[in-house]
């Protein structure tokens, strides 16, 4: 299908200016692997300064508000993030769905707001351990994806990240067979909404305890088009092997 691998770090609530050297080194690792699209979704406070040093790696945000402006203390609009230097944003990460109570409809609205501001979007979905154990993870996550999918979803501005909640930050990952089955199911679900051809071009990333040891095997799976990487993206020493595994 010719989908270019997309490998994105999610720094979550980590990073001060002292870590800009890591951003610069990750940019150098990205430059060494031009076949891979590489980015870092950073705390908003670091976006502008990181953008100045990130080189071949794009800089993104981790969330945006669904409104353009207004009385929303502490929130940031997509236009603000774009002006600071972000070219992508994550929406719908499970930590926000849980901690901030974001609904599928909120996530779709945030994706549209991001697109309107010129940002590309990584939309996250994934199941709890209860759902995985109950044996219906593919149906549940496919439904979550369709409910969170913005109108006009297209591969040129949107990527999906499948992140099993129980794999995030735990060192546990699903079996390769389970990842393959989920990604296939998600592409089929996308195809039902936007057509098989467009779904065939959309990147579906895996996220959850991806690191330099497991990235090559995960990204060799047919429908796995890259990774959304938390802990292993915080230093160039850990992230560079993940980038190399995608190249």
Residue set of the binding site for substrate: 10-12, 169, 209, 230-231
Using CB under 6 A, pick the residue from 25, 202, 224, 229 that binds ligand PGA. 229
Q: Give the nearer residue to ligand PGA in terms of CB position, either 190 or 234.
A: 234
> Strands (DSSP E) along 92-138, which ranges?
120-125
* Degrees to nearest 5, angle at CA 175 with 221 and 89: 60
C-alpha count within 13 angstroms, C-beta hemisphere, residue 177:
0
| Complex with ligand PGA: residue 159 or 229, whichever CB lies closer | 229
Name the residue among 179, 99, 171, 162 with its Cα closest to residue 127: 162
Q: CA 125 to CA 91: how far, in whole Å?
A: 10
Residue closest to ligand PGA (Cβ): 230
Work out the angle at residue 193's Cα, subtended by the Cα atoms of residues 147 and 7, and round it to the nearest 5 degrees. Answer: 75
Scan residues 99-138 and list those touching ligand PGA (CB under 6 A). Answer: none
Question: Which residues define the annotated binding site?
Answer: 10-12, 169, 209, 230-231
User: Shortest distance, CB of residue 89 to ligand PGA, whole angstroms?
Assistant: 13
Give CA 68 to chain center in angstroms. Answer: 22
Task: Based on the shown chain and the rule CB under 6 A, indicate whether residue 192 belongs to the binding site for ligand PGA.
Answer: no
> How far, in Å, CA of 218 to CA of 195, rounded?
26
The yes-or-no answer on residue 163 being catalytic is yes
> Is 231 a residue that touches ligand PGA (CB under 6 A)?
yes
Which listed residue (230, 236, 245, 246) binds ligand PGA by CB under 6 A?
230
- Is residue 218 within the footprint of ligand PGA (CB under 6 A)? no
Min dist. Cβ of residue 207 to ligand PGA (A): 4
Helix (H, G, I), strand (E, B) or coil at 115: helix
* Angle at alpha carbon of residue 29, lines to 27 and 35, rounded to 5°: 100
Among the listed residues 210, 224, 240, 246, the single contact to ligand PGA using CB under 6 A:
210
Residues 82, 43: contact at Cβ < 8 Å? Answer: no
Of residues 4 through 33, those in contact with ligand PGA by CB under 6 A are: 10
Per rule CB under 6 A, is residue 208 in the interface with ligand PGA? Answer: yes
Q: Active-site residue among 37, 93, 138, 183? A: 93
Among 111, 122, 168, 221, binds ligand PGA (CB under 6 A): 168
The reply to whether 72 belongs to the active site is: no
What's the length of the chain?
247
Q: Should residue 160 be labelled a site residue for ligand PGA when binding is judged by CB under 6 A?
A: no
> What are the catalytic residues?
93, 163
């Amino acid at each position: 299908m010719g989908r270019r691998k997309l490998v994105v770090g999610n720094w979550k609530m980590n990073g001060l200016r002292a870590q800009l050297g890591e951003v610069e080194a990750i940019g150098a690792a990205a430059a060494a692997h031009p076949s891979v699209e590489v980015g870092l979704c950073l705390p908003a406070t670091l976006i502008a300064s990181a953008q100045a040093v990130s080189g071949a790696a794009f800089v993104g945000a981790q969330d945006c508000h669904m409104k353009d402006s207004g009385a929303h203390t502490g929130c940031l609009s997509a236009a603000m993030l774009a002006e600071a230097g972000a070219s992508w944003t994550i929406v719908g990460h499970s930590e926000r769905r849980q901690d901030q109570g974001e609904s599928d409809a909120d996530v779709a609205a945030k994706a549209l707001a991001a697109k309107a501001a010129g940002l590309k979007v990584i939309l996250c979905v994934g199941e709890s351990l209860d759902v995985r154990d109950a044996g219906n993870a593919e149906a549940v996550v496919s439904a979550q994806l369709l409910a969170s999918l913005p109108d006009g979803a297209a591969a040129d501005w949107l990527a999906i990240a499948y992140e099993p909640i129980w794999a995030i930050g735990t060192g546990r990952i699903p079996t390769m067979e389970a990842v393959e089955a989920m990604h296939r199911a998600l592409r089929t679900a996308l195809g039902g909404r936007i057509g098989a051809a467009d779904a065939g071009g959309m990147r579906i990333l895996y996220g959850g305890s991806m690191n330099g040891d497991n990235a090559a095997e995960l990204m060799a799976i047919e429908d796995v088009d890259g990774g959304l990487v938390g802990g292993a993206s915080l230093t160039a020493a850990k992230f560079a092997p993940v980038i190399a595994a995608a190249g």
